[in-house]
Amino acid sequence: MGDRGKDDDMKHRKTNLEPLEPVAEKPESHNPMGRSVTSQKPEARLGREVQARIGQQLRAMYNDVVSQGVPQHLTDLVRRLGDQEAE
Amino acid sequence: MKLDPAIRDQVLATVPSLRAFAISLCGNIDRADDLVQETLLRALAHIDSFEPGTNMPAWLFTILRNLFRSEYRKRRREVEDADGRYAETLKSHPEQTGRVEFEEFRAALAKLPSDQREALILVGASGFSYDDAAAICGCAVGTIKSRVNRARTRLADLLAIDSVDDFGPDRATRAVLAGGGRN
């Protein structure tokens, strides 16, 4: 399928995650699940490594689906509807 | 008037990413494909409201998310069993990641509140800016940042806790097998 070029800019951006630390706004601070756990644990120093890993796995998981391309029935659907439009 | 082929190609080019997002929302590939199909039907029926030159992926993601949200309210119970089923949705798993680690990651991701999960995926995997993600989710940029940070913190906790659980008994077992007492 030759029509994947358009979302290249999305892929190339890879990630927009900012460093974890500074969160000025906390509009959801009512959430009781928020911060409760850890930060005192010895594992905390692994934080950076863990975050890199999380980003990597997130993208790997996502790109696994992206690489499946467009299912044929959806290509057909879009082409068919595109041809019919506004008749 | 037929659909402009350039617009049509933009729609098609977004489908793979749209599916990945749908699967992350639904946790089930069949429902995700239904959702994508419904999104495309809706989008093409309202293609006149898309302004050429603006962000097609963001437009389609917004439609998909809204459809999912309205459907989710109807089917809440079913959707919540997404947990273990996510793993079944993919044929393969990325080579650079061990299978166990990958499943652990999925399980941890499934434990996140859905608003945190979707924010993390939009920004960390789909590659949207915080601004676009906020527009897609219909909330403030600060809210997206907060959700993403919370999601990352929670994931890190879950994954760290898991690995401690994994190593703990194992270490104990090894100690026993080695005939060791404890130090």
Are A57 and B97 inside 8 Å of each other by CB? yes
**Residue among B5, B116, B137 at smallest CA distance from B64:** B137
A28-45 tens-digit pLDDT: 444 444 444 444 454 454
Q: Within an 8 Å CB–CB cutoff, is residue B2 touching chain A?
A: yes
Q: A-contacting residues of B 33-52, CB under 8 Å?
A: 33, 36-37, 40-41, 44, 47
A15 contacts B105? CB cut-off 8 A: no
Please give the residue range of the domain that contains residue B42.
1-91
B11 and B79 housed in the same domain: yes
Q: Which amino acid is at A19?
A: P
Both tokens of B174, joined, read 């090894």
Predicted confidence band of residue A15 (pLDDT cuts 50, 70, 90): low
Judge contact between B18 and B118, C-beta under 8 A: no
Q: CA distances (Å), B76 to each of A60, B17, B19, B68, B82, in order? A: 28, 24, 20, 11, 10
Q: What's the CATH number where B163 sits?
A: 1.10.10.10
Please say which residue of B91, B113, B145 terminates a domain.
Answer: B91
Count up the domains in chain B and report the number. Answer: 2
Instruction: Look up residue B162 and give its two tokens.
Output: 């898991």
Q: Name the domain boundary from B60, B75, B91.
A: B91
Please indicate, yes or no, whether the overall pTM of this predicted structure exceeds 0.90: no
pLDDT by 10-residue block (mean), chain B, 183 residues: 88 96 88 94 94 94 95 60 48 57 87 94 96 97 97 90 50 50 43
CA-closest candidate to residue A20, choices B139, B138, B156, B126: B156
Spatial contact of B136 and B122, defined as CB atoms under 8 Å apart: yes
